[in-house]
Amino acid sequence: MEEKQFSGILNGAVPGEPVKTDKNSRRGNWGNQIEFILTSVGYAVGLGNVWRFPYLCYRNGGGAFMFPYFIMLVFCGIPLFFLELSFGQFASQGCLGVWRISPMFKGVGYGMMVVSTYIGIYYNVVICIAFYYFFSSMTNLLPWTYCNNPWNTPTCNGVVTPTGINNTLANVTRSLVTGAAEVAVEVVNKTKRTSPSEEYWKHYVLKISDDIGNFGEVRLPILGCLAVSWVVVFLCLIRGVKSSGKVVYFTATFPYVVLTILFIRGITLEGAVTGIKYYLTPQWHKILDAKVWGDAASQIFYSLGCAWGGLITMASYNKFHNNCYRDSIIISITNCATSVYAGFVIFSILGFMAHHLNVDVSEVADHGPGLAFVAYPEALTLLPISPLWSLLFFFMLILLGLGTQFCLLETLVTAIVDEIGTDWIIRNKTVVTGGVAIVGFLLGVPLTTQAGIYWLLLMDNYAASFSLVIISCIMCICIMYVYGHKKYFKDVEMMLGFPPPIFFRVCWRFVSPIIISFILIFTVIQYKPITYNDYVYPGWSLAIGFLMAMSSVTCIPIYALYKISKSEGTTFLERLKNSCKADIKWGPALSEHRIGHYAAPSSEGEVEVRPLKEELKEKEDEKRDEISLTIQGSNGSTAHNTTPSA
């Protein structure tokens, strides 16, 4: 008996609960809870932790930014994370199926699918560019080290002196530079230096065009890497969570090994301390700036992957009694700690680079693709055995990107399979996965053209911006106020064995929606048209960006109107009320978990129906289950003994 209880704890069972064989054999489950946690960590920890958080930190007051960042983590990040995990786990459904809780709001699920589609398209293009740089680093000399390549321009100015220069020529050069110091300063002031890494990025890798409408040619090397990226993602998801759950043991943990190696190397470099000080030194006066709090809230919200649908999907493969409350805290804190840790790695290298160039750290600090494919590669050329460090850095970017991409693709596949729900499509889920991967590859082809980087940044800035905030806010309102907070708290208690802590109940009902609204208002007030370096996007492209952003949000009212029109009732109010009611299929997927008011014999479809019993015995069982929910054990769990139905 003790051995069974111990085994149950290892599998994520609630302490005090009798161990059950609650595997969903039809839909599948995670092999164990470590796989779920690692997958969720890989999903939440992505490229933004490396190329956005450190930049936000130094721009918003250094160490002072940590204070609002962790405040937003506690009051917004963890509560929303817990809400989505519990939502998906309770129903064992993806981002569409869970809306049986209130069918009128199923458009929120479609909105999540649209967002995940956009992100999945351009995210894999970023991964494929990382693959390209990874393959390019397999050489004795990094190709972006010097300015003596066919693609370089006269304004190129490298930071590494080519070896093998004749000593006499070097001396003459030095004396010329010394004798013409004033002229050199004037030239530098008038002409912006372009680094070999920047020219390699623009003129060789991308062959970037002059306008977003000028697509030019497809860059075949990038297209080939994109095919490699999608094949890798497909192979890792070929058996759904059963295969991806094994892959994440490597993809979710090895980036931390690489980060640690780069960190140890970084702090041993001259100037590293200056970079880290620049990263951490608090500027307390900025705490009073609303923009700092807005950036902190936005970074927490976006980096955790809230409202993408991935958290609901990943949690839907958990066993019913898994302690997702514990998981949400572990994963959220791990995500934020990774961001802080990555900041040390990035700024130790940037501090070394600033020292080498004799400039301020702010002049070499960057974010987004500029950090990953320009600033950091240039810094790597200054290190001994630079190809080794370059291989490690881009391998880390690939793994970070793949961890997120796995979940994005699984979100779409799970939503499609759950929605259709036939035995054939469940047995042939691999075919659906392959189909989604092929469509994703084809839609990503325009991003491999010479104008691809413009479209990639447009999608990054608009496809998953304020639309995510709106989706998350509506989700909170639906669960807490339409379905009812008391009913949902009882659902969570039935699943976990204890009610949600009062802190989370308050956050779900009041604090988190207020913070989400603040993020939305902040996003609108602080809006600035997108630019890429000196290129200003034309108005028509910005209109396309807004259409992408609105395409996910408009799913919500369109589906709501459709559902109301199809609902029973003679008046609009009757139809509205009926469309908001929970579907009879809402609730736990397995019959052994459908107790209390969920034990109604009318449940059909994907819910496994109990065999018919004598009417009297069925009523007695139902009554006993309802009574047992009210009896609390000493550890806060529900002290009832529910045995699986025959």
Establish whether 56 is an annotated binding residue: no
Helical axes 33-44 vs 241-251, angle rounded to 10°: 60
Establish whether 421 is an annotated binding residue: no
Establish whether 400 is an annotated binding residue: yes
Token pair belonging to 572: 């609009």
Q: Compute the chain's Rg from CA coordinates.
A: 27
Establish whether 434 is an annotated binding residue: no
Mark 93-108 as b/e (b = at least 16 C-beta within 10 Å). Answer: bbbbbbbbbbbbbbbb
**C-alpha distance from residue 577 to each of 186, 455, 641 (Å):** 73, 42, 36
144 with 246: CB under 8 angstroms? no
The CB density around residue 270, as the number of other CB atoms within 10 Å, is 10
Residues, the chain: 646
Give the 3-state DSSP-derived string for 180-196, with helices as H, strands as E and coil as C: CHHHHHHHHHHCCCECH
Q: Tell me which residue has tokens 């200003």.
A: 536
Establish whether 335 is an annotated binding residue: yes
Token pair belonging to 247: 């892959």
d(CA 370, CA 218): 22
Establish whether 42 is an annotated binding residue: yes
225 with 131: CB under 8 angstroms? yes
Q: Tell me which residue has tokens 């500029």.
A: 370
**C-alpha distance from residue 65 to each of 50, 62, 117, 289, 361 (Å):** 16, 6, 32, 11, 18
Q: Would residue 47 be called left, alpha or beta, if left means φ above 0 and alpha means ψ between -120 and 50 degrees? A: alpha
Token pair belonging to 489: 């708290």
CB within 8 Å of 472: residues ≥ 6 apart:
80, 301, 306, 307, 516
Establish whether 148 is an annotated binding residue: no
What ranges make up the beta strands (E) of 439-581? 531-532, 535-536
d(CA 272, CA 81): 35
d(CA 284, CA 282): 6
CB within 8 Å of 173: residues ≥ 6 apart:
none
Token pair belonging to 626: 């309802």
The CB density around residue 461, as the number of other CB atoms within 10 Å, is 18
Binding residues: 42, 44-45, 49, 303, 335, 400
Binding residues for Na(+): 42, 44-45, 49, 303, 335, 400
